[in-house]
A and B are shown apart, each in its own frame.
Chain A
């Protein structure tokens, strides 16, 4: 009776990393967490006998459009893991913390790119997980719009970005049931607005995850894996 029919999961991970100069004290920790996050989720899922059919990960490194110009945003395509583990590791290891100008950064633009990722459309069960590591609040969307490389199709304001995330009444660019957003970000605008209002969010209020103990980390991994 369809014994070879197994519910499997296609998982897309998007890792958004603040790579401005203020991240210098924590950037190595963040890069290490980024490199191992998918392994920890996979291990938690394996413990529940949840079979992953395909796992892809892409990286978005963000700074500040006005202060950093062409270095403001770096985004990769999806790497298929484990086949492209080396390319993925090299990308993470190449990230350096520098630039950024004033304290708020363009984290919302990074989130906009992440939300509009070319998500996997195949598979029986899909999950679309975005993780953000930052130590800073965010500018309003469009703050850096005068920069020549500012994206033309970016959400015009926070309300539009919220609609990109979607809700029970209106689908966004991420599947309503599939999406998960994990924030390692300070209790600051707009991260706190997101954690208070958007669906399927986990927020660890901190400087890019600093101070995260094993207890909270296992809680986060459990929350992600158990909701997959």
Chain B
């Protein structure tokens, strides 16, 4: 985690595996030297362990095999970094989708051709995707006090903006069924669109202009999918900021919070812009933290959470989906 230039106060990515060495999440981000310029990016990938459970052998010297999900998240993370480094920034238009899709497909096809086996003979929709992964990429550019952000995503990994108005989900989950963030915590709808080598997929794109200090957050579903409500996820971020004295402490707290709840690998990336310092970021979010606690978390602590959460969600989601 780094405290950086006048443009980017924090650029950080953290990833944790539930089963050491078997994690199917991966990430890439712009290094501090690039952040001295006026742009940065964070990208997280969640290899789909269910539909990507086929194992591949890629090295004749060892007996080691890897799932397609494990390989896909790493390859796409690397290709995203390479794409950024080759031009020094993203294009901030829809051409990024087409170019990245080309790079991902080319790289996944290459690894498929290198594989010493072709996976198993398993058939069916749950085992049929080659090299499936989600993606959530956020690229941010700061110029003359204005912040432009570009969100690119596939699947159910999410991109958020958190400012003094609260947490907003910018991306839209690719799900078969209800996309509501609250109901999907229990329903776990299957994904309708993932990066893979077998069938066509779409990389979605959204540009958002921001004119106040903001956190840009990219997260795999292990980060947000196991809290009782989306309000808890926002509170976890805010409380981690407001109860910390520095960035390292903040990272430790948010990691511990997520670990208490999650049953999955999790990876998040954060870009903070416009705060100047961690201390001022903490001060900026104090009111919002108190508001979320008093109006949502305390109520759910005091009452039966399952009785009250949908009513509170109806109020909360007005801002949450206000893009």
Contacts and interface: CB of A to CB of B under 8 A. Distances in A.
Interface of A: 1-3, 5-7, 47-51, 124-125, 168, 176-178, 180-181, 183, 192, 195-196, 198-205, 215-216, 218-220, 222-224, 226-227
Nearest to A222: B53
Nearest to A2: B228
Taking chain A's interface residues, is the majority helix, strand, or loop, or is none over half, making it mixed? mixed
Ranked nearest first, the 10 interchain pairs of A and B with the lowest CB-CB distance are A227-B50, A226-B49, A201-B124, A223-B53, A222-B53, A203-B123, A195-B124, A50-B263, A203-B124, A226-B50
A205 B261 CA distance: 38
A7 B226 contact: yes
Interface stretch (B150-158, B205-213, B269-277, B297-305): B297-305
B315 interface: no
Contact of B232 (A2, A201, A223): A2
Give the most central of B125, B189, B228, B262: most A CB within 10 Å.
B125
B301 A1 contact: yes
B195 to A, nearest CB: 17
Nearest to A8: B263
Contacts, number: 120
Nearest to B260: A3
A200 B126 contact: yes
15 contacts: A2-B297, A6-B261, A49-B18, A49-B262, A125-B188, A176-B189, A195-B124, A201-B124, A202-B127, A203-B123, A205-B121, A215-B65, A222-B53, A222-B67, A224-B50
Contacts of B264: 48
Taking chain B's interface residues, is the majority helix, strand, or loop, or is none over half, making it mixed? loop
A219 B18 contact: no
Contacts of A47: 18-19
Interface in B68-125: 120-125
Give the most central of A178, A202, A218: most B CB within 10 Å.
A202
B122 A5 contact: no
Contacts of B125: 198-201
Q: How large is the interface on B (under 10, 10 to 19, 20 to 34, 35 or more residues)?
A: 35 or more
Interface string B5-21: 00000000000001100
Contacts of A198: 124-125
Interface string B171-197: 000001100000001111110100000
A216 B118 CA distance: 12
B242 interface: no
A170 B85 CA distance: 46
B189 A219 contact: no
A28 B48 CA distance: 34
Contacts of A3: 260
A60 to B, nearest CB: 20
A216 B124 CA distance: 14
